A and B are shown apart, each in its own frame.
Chain A
């Protein structure tokens, strides 16, 4: 099976996660959109990580005793902060979704527009 290589597996996983994320983001209820954001986050994080090129068994932990290859540490540092920040983002979005649902008893993502609400300040 010629396509069974790491690069293909990672690329296909990124593609699928992205596609699933996009599809769910386009749904009309808050919860699927949050799920979609999470999937898209996985996809984006792996994408960023993979820009450092892939290596097996070469963690960027310096070895004092031997000359060994190291994988690219920079995307890892980027992705590490991205993971933590995306947790913060998810938490805020979840909170907003929950507050919106509890206040309006409705978890539709589209806001009905009422131009007449914006009364002119006399």
Chain B
């Protein structure tokens, strides 16, 4: 199976659990399991080649300009990790099916899990470090979702945030480190980077790159002092802890250190940073773990300690230590995942994870007890289990390691860690499973069903088998993986076996086991002393740090964005004026090349009207109704001006938009105060006036200068004029540009218009659904109301006008391609024709007779436009290529048709729908009960006559 497919499968499969959850939890779990299984099988198909020592590579250039290529490769190390990720993933999927309760959204869980799995597989298969970074960030994000899966638990949310903050910022550091590394090596491809050890280690940027990359690794792998997030991430469901925090995510940091080991390791910087961090983490984690009462906390700190152990081994920089590290990665994954799952079973059955409330479970849940005890003994480093083997090899290495000239530092601390490690393992066994049965468990514990213990049982079988037959079972895998870590160099001599003779490591192991047993005996006094001793609480430090950072960013944000929109506008205006001045001051201006054109008196009068009306809008803007009338004058003059200056289409559009806008503003003003009070002090108004005058002068001067000069570059308008008829089949060039040349823009525009109308509709729904409705219903009009809201003259006139207006709209629409008009203008006219009915006959009357839904009108308009555009694909042309021809239908004259007219129909419908939906929404604010009348006119003489006649009849 292609490596692409192996990496992509979990992502592709992630859709199914969420979809199939409707078909039941088994279907959802099976979909997830099948996905992982397929990927696992695909990986295993490569196993023979891997064990022959081959490296499988696939790749495509994705963004070669950035050096970002979708290159994957599979070698021993990648194979080891990928098989752990997919294999343990399968067991976790099985386990989670039975662990999660009915209330948990299982589909979501599996989807997140598969996303995470895909990201992890991506990391270990990436051949390109930029691609690796993408997957690296994806693991942070998907693990955030998994840790916070129980959204109702505050610990879960906090733990998820902390994990994201720590691993995310580590990831940021790593991006920097990887960039430097890629720059030094001249390529972002790992296979190239790994060949350039000398170049990289000689570079002056080696240390910064190393530190940045290690920051990423240490945060991800919970190394001191970033270890604190891991215990808090234990708020996740146990399958997540078992998966992320034993086998996979926390090992990503180790993986990367192992991956880059050939080029980064071997220097004193590497040794002192990595080995020391690992040593400290290992010891600290082991000591803290002994004093944790929560089963998962204990395991979390134990994981921290073991991750430290592996980090330290990688830090030693020797080949044999790297082999040991790889071996321990395998062993730790097996026993720790089994332990987490056992802890989850205990929690699931006994309803507590508190060690102080447990004990004697050996009798109640023998299967679980067996699994957990074997795994814990392996963790303690007791023979003949696999943990003993790698721990023994680790201790052996420490004996040969000098730290700062001392022979004793590393082995001493390692012995201490091993001792505490044995102690907490024994405590896990002794205080949970051994001892007498208690009668105060929160729930009656018993062994779970097969589905739940099958996974850990399988892993524990491996623990035993690898322990007994290590060379046969784990040997080849360790050999190829370690071979990849040390970069193809020859493997050192080592042997994976239980008995190495009476070595110092064996004595140390013995001391650790005996000491561990002693510590468990002394646990009660020890924990009293531990609790009495003051120690820094990582969560509090982290929270304080976060609070400080939040405060700081709040200060900055509030300083810049204090909610005073007027101030934003002011700053923006100042900025625009400033930058315009800069452009003016730093540029050059040529002499005018065009003559000014003279005007007649009527034009000057129209201009004068515009000037007076605009000044009056400003002067009278506090009287809102008056200013609306005045702004209407401005709009009218602007339309006239467009017409005068050879833009009939613009004139028609402006005019019809003007009508609609006025109706809209009047509708809104109905509910708003009719006056604006004076609020700003005089100096503010003067200041704003100054800004306005400067801005206005600038705009005027700019456009004046522009109009007196010719185009600096040839315009594309000539092309449009020349091709409008030949290519677009229309003589109205503006319309042809809209529906043909720039049809894509228009298509986008009608969508925007439709969205605007839907936003208005949605806002109306939201507002009318709130307490505002009560206010509106009880609202007394603040202005005198017309006695006759629907006067007969107007009702009759608008109804007579309606077919006429629609006819005009049709006319404008059809002639649009060749003469001024088109879908926009026709749509506005048709909307106004319908609007008139609302205004004259009342909202209720009009709504009752409304046969179409405006949402549908907008939608059909957009769809028709889209379908027209797609239609051109059938003739093999790009989207929205128009076609036209001539038809002769007797008795009609020959006429021309163009697919652009169909597109224009879409524009027409979208405009009608958008305008009417917007205005109808606003009109709904005015609705009051009892408003709807069966008669369109409040006063109707015919009705009175009929009533009189009826009355007269009755009298007679």
Contact segment of B288-296, B348-356, B762-770: B762-770
- Whether B707 contacts A83 by the Cβ 8 Å rule is no
Residues of A within 8 A of B746 (CB): 81
Minimal beta-carbon separation of A83 from chain B (angstroms): 5
- Whether A113 contacts B668 by the Cβ 8 Å rule is no
Known: A23-B692, A84-B824. A96 touches B763 (CB 8 A): yes
Please tell me which one of the listed residues B554, B634, B704, B706 contacts residue A39 in the complex, with CB atoms under 8 A apart: B634
- Whether B573 contacts A9 by the Cβ 8 Å rule is no
Q: Compute how far the CA of A19 lies from the CA of B820 in the bound complex, rounded to whole angstroms.
A: 32
Known: A49-B642, A59-B647, A60-B721. A35 touches B770 (CB 8 A): no
B522 on interface, CB distance cutoff 8 Å? no
Residues of A within 8 A of B707 (CB): 7, 10-11, 50, 53-54
Q: Compute how far the CA of A103 lies from the CA of B769 in the bound complex, rounded to whole angstroms.
A: 11
Residues of A within 8 A of B567 (CB): 110
- What is the 8 Å Cβ interface bit string for chain A, positions 1-21, against chain B (1 contact, 0 not)? 000111111111111111111
Minimal beta-carbon separation of A40 from chain B (angstroms): 10
Residues of A within 8 A of B700 (CB): 11-12, 14-16, 18
Minimal beta-carbon separation of B408 from chain A (angstroms): 47
Minimal beta-carbon separation of A37 from chain B (angstroms): 10
- Whether A94 contacts B753 by the Cβ 8 Å rule is no
Residues of A within 8 A of B819 (CB): 61
Please tell me which one of the listed residues A20, A55, A89 contacts residue B692 in the complex, with CB atoms under 8 A apart: A20
Known: A27-B680, A56-B646. A84 touches B597 (CB 8 A): no
Q: Compute how far the CA of A97 lies from the CA of B669 in the bound complex, rounded to whole angstroms.
A: 10
- Whether B604 contacts A9 by the Cβ 8 Å rule is yes
B733 on interface, CB distance cutoff 8 Å? yes
- Whether A10 contacts B646 by the Cβ 8 Å rule is no
Residues of A within 8 A of B704 (CB): 7-8, 11
- What is the 8 Å Cβ interface bit string for chain B, positions 558-571, against chain A (1 contact, 0 not)? 10001111110110
Residues of A within 8 A of B757 (CB): 88, 91
Q: Compute how far the CA of A55 lies from the CA of B565 in the bound complex, rounded to whole angstroms.
A: 40
Minimal beta-carbon separation of B637 from chain A (angstroms): 8
- Whether A54 contacts B645 by the Cβ 8 Å rule is yes
Residues of B within 8 A of A77 (CB): 734, 737-738, 742
Known: A29-B676, A43-B699, A64-B731. A95 touches B770 (CB 8 A): no
Q: Which residue of B lies closest to A108 (CB)?
A: B679
- Whether A73 contacts B922 by the Cβ 8 Å rule is no
Interfacial residues of chain B within 755-784, with CB under 8 A of chain A in the complex: 756-757, 759-760, 763-764, 766-767, 770, 772, 775-776
**Interface of A, helix, strand, loop or mixed by DSSP:** helix
Q: Compute how far the CA of A78 lies from the CA of B764 in the bound complex, rounded to whole angstroms.
A: 31
**Interface of B, helix, strand, loop or mixed by DSSP:** helix
Known: A26-B692, A27-B621, A50-B703. A81 touches B573 (CB 8 A): no
Q: Compute how far the CA of A35 lies from the CA of B276 in the bound complex, rounded to whole angstroms.
A: 69
Residues of B within 8 A of A89 (CB): 756
Q: Which residue of B lies closest to A13 (CB)?
A: B610
Q: Which residue of A lies closest to B597 (CB)?
A: A6
Residues of B within 8 A of A96 (CB): 763
Known: A7-B707, A8-B704, A102-B772. A25 touches B569 (CB 8 A): yes
Known: A54-B645, A61-B820. A35 touches B664 (CB 8 A): no
Interfacial residues of chain B within 702-753, with CB under 8 A of chain A in the complex: 703-704, 706-708, 710, 715-717, 720-721, 724-725, 731-734, 737-738, 742, 745-746, 749, 752-753
- Whether B631 contacts A87 by the Cβ 8 Å rule is no
- Whether A20 contacts B614 by the Cβ 8 Å rule is yes
- Whether A121 contacts B676 by the Cβ 8 Å rule is no
Minimal beta-carbon separation of A105 from chain B (angstroms): 8
B939 on interface, CB distance cutoff 8 Å? no
Residues of B within 8 A of A9 (CB): 599, 603-604, 607
Please tell me which one of the listed residues A35, A72, A83 contacts residue B717 in the complex, with CB atoms under 8 A apart: A72
Q: Compute how far the CA of A14 lies from the CA of B699 in the bound complex, rounded to whole angstroms.
A: 7
Residues of A within 8 A of B770 (CB): 103
Contact segment of B136-144, B300-308, B649-657, B930-938: B649-657
Residues of B within 8 A of A51 (CB): 703, 706
- Whether A23 contacts B618 by the Cβ 8 Å rule is yes
Please tell me which one of the listed residues A24, A26, A54 contacts residue B570 in the complex, with CB atoms under 8 A apart: A26
Please tell me which one of the listed residues A16, A62, A91, A101 contacts residue B614 in the complex, with CB atoms under 8 A apart: A16
- What is the 8 Å Cβ interface bit string for chain B, positions 604-646, against chain A (1 contact, 0 not)? 1001001100110110011010011001001100100110111
Q: Compute how far the CA of A10 lies from the CA of B876 in the bound complex, rounded to whole angstroms.
A: 46
Q: Compute how far the CA of A115 lies from the CA of B610 in the bound complex, rounded to whole angstroms.
A: 46
Residue total for A at the interface (Cβ-Cβ under 8 A)? 93
Most buried by A among B695, B724, B824: B695
B672 on interface, CB distance cutoff 8 Å? yes
Most buried by B among A6, A91, A99: A91
- Whether A74 contacts B604 by the Cβ 8 Å rule is no
Residues of A within 8 A of B104 (CB): none
Residues of B within 8 A of A45 (CB): 638
Please tell me which one of the listed residues A11, A50, A70, A80 contacts residue B738 in the complex, with CB atoms under 8 A apart: A80
Q: Compute how far the CA of A29 lies from the CA of B623 in the bound complex, rounded to whole angstroms.
A: 12
Minimal beta-carbon separation of B384 from chain A (angstroms): 49
Q: Compute how far the CA of A12 lies from the CA of B637 in the bound complex, rounded to whole angstroms.
A: 14
- Whether A28 contacts B696 by the Cβ 8 Å rule is no
Q: Which residue of A lies closest to B716 (CB)?
A: A74
- Whether B596 contacts A73 by the Cβ 8 Å rule is no
Q: Which residue of A lies closest to B827 (CB)?
A: A84
Most buried by A among B554, B621, B680, B745: B621
Residues of B within 8 A of A92 (CB): 756, 759-760
Residues of A within 8 A of B738 (CB): 77, 80-81
B413 on interface, CB distance cutoff 8 Å? no
Q: Which residue of A lies closest to B648 (CB)?
A: A59
- What is the 8 Å Cβ interface bit string for chain A, positions 33-69, against chain B (1 contact, 0 not)? 0110011001101110111111111111111100000
Residues of A within 8 A of B766 (CB): 99
- Whether B676 contacts A31 by the Cβ 8 Å rule is yes
Q: Compute how far the CA of A82 lies from the CA of B820 in the bound complex, rounded to whole angstroms.
A: 17
Residues of B within 8 A of A120 (CB): 550
Please tell me which one of the listed residues A4, A54, A95 contacts residue B598 in the complex, with CB atoms under 8 A apart: A4
Most buried by B among A10, A52, A102, A111: A102
- Whether A62 contacts B696 by the Cβ 8 Å rule is no
Residues of A within 8 A of B679 (CB): 28-29
Known: A24-B618, A56-B645, A94-B665. A5 touches B598 (CB 8 A): yes
Minimal beta-carbon separation of A112 from chain B (angstroms): 7
- Whether A84 contacts B753 by the Cβ 8 Å rule is yes
- What is the 8 Å Cβ interface bit string for chain B, positions 655-677, against chain A (1 contact, 0 not)? 00100110011001101110011
Residues of A within 8 A of B731 (CB): 61-64
18 contacts between A and B (CB under 8 A): A11-B701, A20-B692, A23-B618, A23-B691, A59-B820, A60-B734, A61-B818, A73-B720, A73-B734, A74-B720, A76-B650, A76-B734, A81-B738, A81-B824, A84-B657, A89-B756, A91-B918, A102-B776
Given contact pairs A12-B611, A19-B697, A95-B760, a sample of 9 additional A-B residue pairs in the complex whose CB atoms are under 8 Å apart: A4-B604, A20-B618, A28-B680, A29-B677, A70-B721, A76-B650, A80-B653, A101-B673, A120-B550
| A-B pairs with lowest CB-CB distance, top 3 | A19-B696, A15-B700, A111-B563
Residues of B with Cβ closer than 8 Å to A?
A: 154, 157-158, 550, 554, 558, 562-567, 569-570, 573, 594, 596-599, 603-604, 607, 610-611, 614-615, 617-618, 621-622, 624, 627-628, 631, 634-635, 638, 641-642, 644-650, 653-654, 657, 660-661, 664-665, 668-669, 671-673, 676-677, 679-680, 688-689, 691-693, 695-697, 699-701, 703-704, 706-708, 710, 715-717, 720-721, 724-725, 731-734, 737-738, 742, 745-746, 749, 752-753, 756-757, 759-760, 763-764, 766-767, 770, 772, 775-776, 818-820, 824, 828, 911, 914-915, 918, 921-922, 925
